[in-house]
Amino acid sequence: MKTWILSLLVLLSGCAHVQQPSVSNDRVAALLNDAAFSAPSRPADAGGLFDLSPAMQRHLASPRFQALLREHGKTKGLVYALYDTNELKLDYDSSYTGTAAETYAARQGNCLSLVIMTAAFARRLDLSVRFQDVQIEDTWSRDQALFLVSSHVNLSLAPRGPRTDEDYDPSAMLTIDFVPGMAISRQRVRYLSETDIVALYMNNRAAEELAQGRLADAYWWARGALLKKPALAAAWNTLGVVYQRSGQPVLAEQVYRTALERDPDSLVVLQNLAPLLAANGKQEEAEQLTQRAARLYPAPPYHFFNQAMAAYKAGNFAQARTLFAREVARAPYNDEFHFWLGIANLQLGELTTAEKQLALARDMSVRSDARERYSAKLAHLRGVAPRTGAQR
């Protein structure tokens, strides 16, 4: 296991909480520090986010695609054409947020990427597109030395109304969701604008650059997200992480404070700001924030997991299994929790249960590279007797 830095968390998402109090452009400008960062390796803009590539245009004009549109109508025909396993065979992968063209070329993407690509096709077909923030609990995961906090976005399509996209019959709307097993009919949603989607895309790109250690690129993407949507709390937090990692603690503190104004109960921001305040010599305020976070979140994400890892390292595999199981119970879609529950069972000689948990880790993973690793470990487990000292 690597040493994970709890203070550095970013909000990576299909969508994060976007409807926050307004922030002036002057406030954004005052907290930017362009001179501290080199130019980005590629332009950090979203100008062509919804553009169809030549390959996408050819696909749209293909006989098979057109036949599906004629058979099912534009709305359902588009869904069949894009997501039928006999067509594109798209794969879910949370590791990169692409443009419409990039997602199509890669044949994979996270929920935001797939929403962007689908919207690009839908608009070419003159369909109304409605972007939606799905009100479900945020999902926590880890990538290198970052905790990533993800929420979820989907979209609804319908034939265009006579005047605007808002002129639609709700019964004609078809909601498309890209997470398997999501109960669409019971979802509570909040409608998002295209500006929200663009800002969220740019914030995701900033978080992904952060995970790769490319601080300059992360800065320019976070900067772009805030200029697009100054009230986006997630982008303020991401910018704070960039400043903190680039050795600008005073500026990081100012930015985290702005993020906390947008979302006062954010565990992410509270856990980022408190230790930074302590490092900046503001011990009393840091303690107050720590206590507030503890009151709001007495057992935050990874709480039982961290206890389980301590028990595992101490050789107490039975206790570790119990604690891993508690995390799995409250976060059943976290592949890392299933993996370590499997490893604890393996140490206890429970081969069948270990195999089941490793299979769940593989199936729950939203990253293609992780699925490959889990598959390899599962195949190894099935082929050899359990050994002690298993490591990830």
Range from 26-30, 84-88, 151-155, 344-348 carrying the lowest mean pLDDT: 84-88
Q: What is residue 155's three-state secondary structure?
A: strand
> Please, what sign has the CA dihedral across residues 199, 204, 208, 210?
positive
Q: Are 1-299 and 303-383 in the same CATH fold?
A: yes
Residue 217: pLDDT over 90: yes
Fold exhibited by the domain 1-299: 1.25.40
Residue 59: pLDDT over 70: yes
Q: How far, CA to CA in Å, does 32 sit from each of 37, 38, 83, 168?
A: 11, 14, 41, 41
For residue range 239-282, what is the model confidence (pLDDT) as tens digits? 999 999 999 999 999 999 999 988 898 888 999 999 999 999 99
Output 32 or 169, whichever has higher pLDDT. 32
Query: Could you tell me whether strands 9-11 and 146-159 are parallel, antiparallel, or unpaired per DSSP bridges?
Result: parallel
For residues 313-341, give the mean pLDDT: 90
* 5: confidence class by pLDDT, cuts 50, 70, 90: very low
Give dist(CA 174, CA 336) in Å, integer.
33
For residues 329-355, give the mean pLDDT: 88
For residue range 170-211, what is the model confidence (pLDDT) as tens digits? 556 788 877 654 445 456 778 899 999 999 999 999 999 998
Give dist(CA 190, CA 188) in Å, integer.
7
Taking the domains of the chain in order of start, what are their residue ranges?
Answer: 1-299, 303-383
Query: Could you tell me whether strands 146-159 and 127-143 are parallel, antiparallel, or unpaired per DSSP bridges?
Result: antiparallel
DSSP assignment letter at 49: T
Give dist(CA 41, CA 267) in Å, integer.
32
Query: Which pLDDT score, from 0 to 100, does residue 169 have?
Result: 56
Cβ neighbours for 30, distance < 8 A, ≥ 6 positions apart:
none
Do you know the residue count of the chain? 392
Output 297 or 169, whichever has higher pLDDT. 297
Q: Are 108 and 93 in contact (CB under 8 A)?
A: yes
Domain spanning 303-383: CATH superfamily: Tetratricopeptide repeat domain (1.25.40.10)
Give dist(CA 260, CA 354) in Å, integer.
41
